[in-house]
């Protein structure tokens, strides 16, 4: 593929006539969030666990499993529509973390001062269940990188190597493992600005393309076994593996330790002392329990928000 001609400009520009029609009322589906199941669409989609959602006229637009998906929350009602395929309600609930385990997680986490404050500030934030392949590549790219640039890299990857979604000009699906396995290093590094991570993405794509069932097999393993297997992939260390396990495989005991979480944890629970990440993870397992990952999401998002307000 020619890098120069592969660059596609312009933002995601879904057909507005459909959208307007939807807002008139005939093509939006409705999902009711039951009472007693705290849910915030905005907190969930802007929490940093996913990178392709953006605000759109009161709601959000994203790409999920090859479909453009519009979402808007009105109290306990969730309005949604998708193109070109249909997303069914149970699939959507699963994606958004509206499941029994997540409800249990939100009830069972300890209410210590720091976590308690984060859970009140971002009430209803949930751990998504995203596509493992997209999550894997996204967090390989995230290493030693900042969020603004991570989003640009991923969007660039999709525009260059993903297929354009029918009926939604400028919206691209996340590229398949085969597409990234065959991508030229120059395209990945220069066009998509992956930097030194381009070999990680390419080599991991080769592995996954070579054995298509790999990620779904890993998802069925126990947390520790799955973690070990993920870390065999190039560019995947403890932190990236935990992100994939938590944000795409429903392993709520995973507790990704990044720079932000490390800071909060050391300040709050280790008297501001430097401790190895392994100590942080084992403390989290003891203190937060089997849903420690939920605590991680709240602590991470909370720490970043506080910092961004300064």
Contact set with DNA (CB under 7 A): 47-49, 142-150, 189-190, 193, 195-196, 200, 231, 233-241, 243, 256, 258-261, 274, 276, 278-279, 296-297, 300, 304
Q: Which residue has the tokens 């669409």?
A: 41
Q: How far is the CB of 195 from DNA (least distance, A)?
A: 3
Choosing from 239, 251, 263, 271, the catalytic residue is 239
Complex with DNA: residue 42 or 164, whichever CB lies closer: 42
CB 47 within 8 A of CB 125: yes
Residue 229 C-beta: closest distance to DNA, Å: 13
Residue 178 CB burial class (10 angstroms; 0-12, 13-18, ≥19)? middle
- The rounded Cα 75 to chain-centroid distance in angstroms is 23
Output the smallest distance, CB 291 to DNA, in A: 15
Catalytic residue check, 239: yes
Whole-number minimum distance, CB 43 to DNA, in Å? Answer: 12
**Nearest distance, CB of residue 19 and DNA, angstroms:** 28
- Among residues 23 and 304, whose Cβ is nearest to DNA? 304
Q: Which lies closer to DNA via its Cβ, residue 116 or residue 237?
A: 237
Between 172 and 260, name the residue whose CB sits nearer to DNA: 260
Nearer to DNA, 21 or 279 (CB): 279
Q: Are 240 and 142 in contact (CB under 8 A)?
A: yes
The HSE-up count of residue 201 (CA atoms within 13 Å, CB side) is 32
- Tell how far CA 181 is from the center of its chain: 22
Please identify every residue annotated as catalytic: 239
């Amino acid at each position: 593929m020619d890098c120069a001609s592969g660059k596609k400009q312009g933002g995601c520009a879904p057909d507005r006539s459909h959208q307007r029609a939807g807002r008139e009322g005939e093509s939006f589906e409705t999902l009711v969030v039951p009472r007693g199941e705290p849910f915030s669409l905005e907190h969930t989609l802007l929490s940093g666990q996913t990178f392709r959602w953006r605000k759109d006229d009161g709601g959000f637009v994203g790409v999920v499993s090859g479909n453009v998906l519009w979402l808007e929350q009105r109290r306990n009602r969730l309005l949604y529509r998708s193109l070109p395929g249909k997303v069914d309600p149970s699939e959507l609930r699963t994606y958004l973390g509206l499941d029994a385990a997540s409800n249990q997680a939100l009830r069972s986490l300890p209410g210590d001062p720091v976590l308690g404050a984060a859970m009140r500030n971002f009430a209803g934030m949930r751990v998504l269940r995203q596509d493992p392949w997209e999550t894997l590549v996204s967090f390989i790219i995230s290493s030693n990188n900042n969020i603004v640039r991570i989003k640009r890299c991923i969007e660039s990857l999709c525009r260059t190597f993903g297929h354009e979604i029918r009926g939604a000009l400028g919206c691209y699906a996340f590229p398949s493992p085969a597409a990234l396995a065959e991508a030229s290093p120059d395209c990945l590094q220069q066009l998509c600005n992956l930097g030194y991570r381009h070999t990680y993405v390419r080599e991991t794509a080769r592995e996954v393309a070579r054995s298509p069932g790999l990620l779904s097999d890993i998802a069925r393993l126990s947390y520790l076994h799955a973690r070990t297997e993920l870390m065999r992939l190039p560019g995947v260390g403890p932190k990236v593996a935990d992100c994939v396990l938590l944000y795409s495989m429903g392993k709520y005991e995973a507790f990704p330790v990044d720079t932000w979480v490390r800071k909060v944890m050391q300040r709050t629970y280790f008297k501001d002392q430097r401790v190895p990440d392994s100590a942080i993870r084992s403390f989290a397992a003891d203190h937060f329990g089997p849903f420690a990952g939920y605590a991680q999401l709240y602590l991470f998002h909370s720490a970043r928000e506080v910092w961004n307000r300064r």
